Structures are given as structure tokens and as C-alpha cells.
Amino acid sequence: MKYRLEACGREGARTLVLCSGLGGAAAYWTPHLDALKAMGFDLLLYDQRGTGANTEALGPTTIADMADDVLEVCDAAGVDRFDLLGHALGGLVGFDLACRADSRLDRLVAINAWGRIDHHTARCFDIRIAALDGQGLPAFAALQQNFLYPPFWISANADRIEHDVAHAVAHFAGRDNLIARIDALRGFELPDWPRNGPRVLLMASVDDALVDVAQTHRLAASIPGAQVVEYPQGGHALNITVQDRFEQDLKGFLTDDR
């Protein structure tokens, strides 16, 4: 599996794995790379299975398979212990890694994630698939922006939205891969949390159109010691829409050595 490791230049730096959401692309994290390296992290980025540079056709796949991919790229990069920043699906991948008996995960940040899919999120995926099948790829890509971003951000970033729609159309990995990845999300259930699991920060937006903020509070009740940061606005892609606050909160958690 193709990956890249971006070193911050600090000897003995911890490694932060960046794990994207349903889209799976490493490029999702581009706006944050300079800030994360300035925090002193080496960054391990990769396109997830069925996306980007790793677009082999997927058969049935699971979140556990995607977690295995993280370990594969860590091994290839010579990384033993690591932290992980995951958006939505990426957070689920982190949960799987955290619950393994031989876990190598030290800290986990999950953005707008869940422990078990609820009816609302499942229905959102159904609507997106229906748009793809009934109206075609451009309509699917356009609708995707309304699930990612809240109204205030869409209204202020019309050019960015048009660019993102065109990019999504040009880099679409195919319906079969999309369905396989959505099925993996549908099939995930949070395992019993280990007694000595990693430190966890859960981030969520009240105005997320895809994932109910209540999902984050359910997760917090299932993960001993989990910290929660709740944003009044920011949408599903809060790391983009409220970037400055997100990076400040992220730094506070990842660099806190208490």
C-alpha cells in the first residue's frame, strides 16, 4: 500500500497517522500539515483501500481490514508506536486499533465518529447512493458537499465548493468501491474498550448533517476517560470549517504530557 512519511525534523518525534473519512484521500489533511509538523509530529499519510493511489477493486471489506492497512503502512515506514487522527470512518479505524490486545496506539482523536451506525446516518448514505444511481456522479458529488459542510460555510465558499465537486467527480473510485466502504461503516460496532486503552479525544459539531452529536456522547459513555470537545457549528468537516479552533484543541490534547 502506497504511503508517505513527512518528517518534522525533530529527533525522536512521535508519529501521527492521518486517517481520512469515507473519501479516504490523504489530501484531505493538506490544510493541516504545516501546523501538525510545527507541533513536532512526523506525519504518516496514505490513501485508504479503494481510493486515490490505492484504487484496487474492493470486494467485501471491513473496518478491521482498514485498521490492518494502518499497521501495514506503519510497518513499512518503520513506525512502532503512533498516535492517530481520524475523521468519521478514520475514527472507527482508530477504535478498532485501540481495542486490539496488541494495540500500538497511544493517543486517538476521532472527529464526528460513532460506535454503531444509527438510522439517521444510515439514511444519509442511502440518499447519497440513490443520488448516484438516479442522477449520476455530478449530482452525487454536489450532494456530498451539503453533508460535509454547514450552510454558513457553503455560502461563504462558493468557489471552493465548485472546485471540490469537480475534484470529486474527477477522482471518483467507482460505485463498487464506494458501496464496499459504506458497507464497512454499516457493519462496525465498537468493541468492549480495553482497561488500559489509549487516551481519546472525541470532537463533534452540533450542526453535523451526517452524524448526530449524540453519537459522540454515546461514545464518551463507552470509552473510560474520553475527553469531548463539542463545537456549536462546524458541520461534518469541522477541521476545515473551524480550522483555527480545531488545531488549537488538537494541539492541547496531543502535546499534553500529563
Question: Is the pLDDT higher at 256 or at 155?
Answer: 155
The model's pLDDT over 56-76, given as tens digits with 9 standing for 90+, comes to 878 889 999 999 999 999 999
Q: In whole numbers, what is the pLDDT of the chain averaged over residues?
A: 96
Residue 195 corresponds to which cell in the numbers above? 482497561
Phi/psi region, residue 225 (left: phi>0; alpha: psi -120 to 50; beta: rest), is left
Give residue limits of the domains in the chain: 3-254
The model's pLDDT over 167-209, given as tens digits with 9 standing for 90+, comes to 999 999 999 999 999 999 999 999 999 999 999 999 999 999 9
Q: Do the Cβ atoms of 169 and 131 come closer than 8 Å?
A: no
d(CA 188, CA 92): 8
Q: Which fold has domain 3-254?
A: Rossmann fold (3.40.50)
Q: Is the pTM of this model over 0.95?
A: yes
Q: Do the Cβ atoms of 86 and 24 come closer than 8 Å?
A: no
